Amino acid sequence: MHNQFLASFEAQVFSTTTEQSAPSNIALIKYWGKFAGQIPANPSLSYTLSLCKTLTQMAFDSTQPFSVKLYLSGELNLGFSQKIETYFKSIEMYLPWILMGSYEIQTHNTFPHSSGIASSASGFGALAQCLMDLDKNFGSKLSPEEALKKASFLARLGSGSACRSLYPGLVEWGRSEELEGSSDLYATPYPSSDVHEVFRDFHDWVLLIHEGEKSVSSSVGHSLMHEHPYGETRFAQAKANFASLKSILKSGDLQAFIALVEHEALSLHALMMMSSPPYLLMQSGTLETINRLWAYRKETGHPLFFTLDAGANVHLLFPQGPSSEAIMQFIESDLMAFTQNGGLVKDRMVF
């Protein structure tokens, strides 16, 4: 079969360019710990952002031998080029034509690199969609829905959380009894009919507490979960929290939502501190922001809360509503002092 494909390919000499984009996402139920093949140890649920995106242009030339050149914001990046070359080789079984030409990839983010916004998620999301667009040239007969699911599958193999960036709104990844059709292999859109209107229009303002590289990468952090003393407890906790969140999303219980999301964020960082060896990604500005936020919420009753990714930066979450303007003013007047260089990224999730 593979030889027949090669013979068919030889008759399809062409060059083409495709452009795609994908947003980043922020997990509410955290994915932390995985098995071989990017299989998650527990289900996760995320909000897909609106403005923080990766824009990718891919030029493919079948007349040239296999190679990858990746330009990040106009600069050739040899490290990323090698990473994508390795990734392409790893997915040849799913795209048998992928090593039969050269690639020049131009990519840039609409948000700062190393900002606590998952550029690997948006990056591999955009890349996977480019590949599925090229796949049409080789006779793919997948429907748009099937192609999107395959793009989610391929994105997962590059970066686990990337599979969630292919869909808007709330997105689930990981086999769960709580969501029909869920899978470890690709992400599943959370049914909007099961989401109360209060959760359909949310702000996510990211305070850039630390803009450099993390002291411990997410890949290393995931690997430390294999022998973690609280690993199995955490995986069970995440499944239970997912079940709780399902009813919260349906009922519109904003206070319960706040409590669960913050608990998930702090659980993630507690796992890091209890790893062997232990490590700490939060910084003093992270803790100062959280304490000031809690005090503000207690004083005003305004629904401002936080989540954290695997880093020091703080995602400030609040629903669009009567208190939105007051919350925005508080962030800009009281919390900007805790940032490294006055960095603030404003995004919003609407669906």
CB 230 within 8 A of CB 274: yes
| Residue whose tokens read 């919350």 | 327
* pLDDT of res. 1: 47
* pLDDT of res. 81: 97
* pLDDT of res. 350: 87
* pLDDT of res. 113: 67
Roughly what angle, to the nearest 10 degrees, separates helices 254-273 and 231-251? 160
Which pTM was predicted?
Answer: 0.92
| Residue-wise pLDDT tens digits, 249-289 | 999 999 999 999 999 999 999 999 999 999 999 999 999 99
Under CATH, to which class is 2-192 assigned?
alpha beta
| Residue whose tokens read 């703080």 | 314
How far is the C-alpha of 333 from the C-alpha of 222, rounded, in Å?
Answer: 36
Q: pLDDT under 50 in the chain at which residues?
A: 1
To which CATH superfamily is domain 201-350 assigned?
Answer: GHMP kinase, C-terminal domain (3.30.70.890)
* pLDDT of res. 5: 53
Q: Check the CA dihedral 144-39-173-217 and report its sign.
A: negative
* pLDDT of res. 209: 92
- Per DSSP, helices labelled H in the chain are 2-10, 78-90, 119-135, 144-158, 218-223, 231-251, 254-273, 284-300, 324-330
Domain boundaries, the chain: 2-192, 201-350
How far is the C-alpha of 282 from the C-alpha of 305, rounded, in Å?
Answer: 17
How far is the C-alpha of 188 from the C-alpha of 145, rounded, in Å?
Answer: 12
- DSSP type of residue 117: S
* pLDDT of res. 116: 57
Pairing of strands 187-189, 170-173: antiparallel
